Amino acid sequence: MFTSVIIDDEKHARMTLSQIIRSFLGNKLKVAGMASSVAEGVKVINEHNPDIVFLDIEMPSQNGFALFQHFEEIPFEVVFCTAYEQYAIEAIKVAAFDYLLKPVNHDDILALMERFEKSRRPAEINKARITTLVNNFSAGDNTFNSIALPTKDGYHMEKIPDIVFCRAMESYCEVHLRKQISYLVSRTLKEMEEIMPGDLFFRIHKSYLLNLNYVQTFIKAENLIILQNGEQLEVAHRRSDEFLKRLTRRS
């Protein structure tokens, strides 16, 4: 039996989530405690040592991110509960955290629990992901600087501008970096496309998502891109004109 803590300033939100967990995950997940603020949340977490913390982001006295200032390590999985704007959701996804949109429904809780059971993360990895999230979120200019890349070894924190391109590998993708290394990431290319900044990345082919900053030459007659490192990538014929427009707008 796993344990959880709910931190949310709205009593109705706390009670609703607690009831859903009891009704649909009663044999797997227990709500050990609830809190209405960050200060209360710290006490409840220290008391119950939960496996999962459901955390509201926007609370009147303190932003939910303030919770992490009270812990050297993050030995629990964090699930953000929010009715927040799209930018906040994208920041959460870039840092590879789970989230629940309010109002919460039982299907989302069941899916979340399934993911949790399949992969639990070490405390030091969670701390690095929190740092990535807070830094991206506090930037406040609708751009993300860092990303958590989930691999079989854990998470690798990388700067988004350092990603040259992503290549589809069935249900995974290969992320190639400027420093001539690559990671096999447990995200599809479509998922990467959804969370990467659209002004910087362009889907040139069903198999490639490209950082436009690394284009050296585009040979339109051959639908071929030569990158600054000399590597060559194919552009799908149906994407060729749109790709050229994007390059022209950036010049």
pLDDT tens track, the chain, 251 positions: 999 999 999 999 999 999 999 999 989 999 999 999 999 999 999 999 999 999 998 888 888 989 999 998 899 999 999 886 677 788 898 998 999 998 899 999 999 999 898 877 666 678 888 989 988 877 666 678 899 999 988 889 999 999 999 999 999 999 999 999 999 999 999 999 999 999 999 999 999 999 999 999 999 999 999 999 999 999 999 999 999 999 888 76
The pLDDT of residue 249 is 82
Does the 2-139 domain belong in CATH 3.40.50.2300? yes
Has this prediction a pTM greater than 0.75? yes
Distances (CA, A) of 203 to 163, 185, 198: 14, 17, 9
Residues 150, 96 contacting (CB under 8 angstroms): yes
The pLDDT of residue 61 is 80
- d(C-alpha 251, C-alpha 248), whole Å: 5
Residues 172, 185 contacting (CB under 8 angstroms): yes
41-54 CB burial, b ≥16 within 10 A, e <16: bbebbeebebbbbb
Q: What are phi and psi of 220, to 5 degrees?
A: -65, -35
The pLDDT of residue 122 is 67
Q: Where in the chain is the domain with CATH 3.40.50.2300?
A: 2-139
149-250 fold:
OB fold (Dihydrolipoamide Acetyltransferase, E2P) (2.40.50)
The pLDDT of residue 124 is 67
Q: Where in the chain is the domain with CATH 2.40.50.1020?
A: 149-250
* Helix, strand or coil, per DSSP, at residue 232: strand
Nearest to 20 by CA among 111, 110, 101: 110
- d(C-alpha 167, C-alpha 192), whole Å: 10
Q: Which two tokens stand for residue 203?
A: 């889907």
The pLDDT of residue 70 is 93
User: Sheet of 98-101: strands edge to edge?
Assistant: 29-35, 2-7, 52-56, 77-82, 98-101
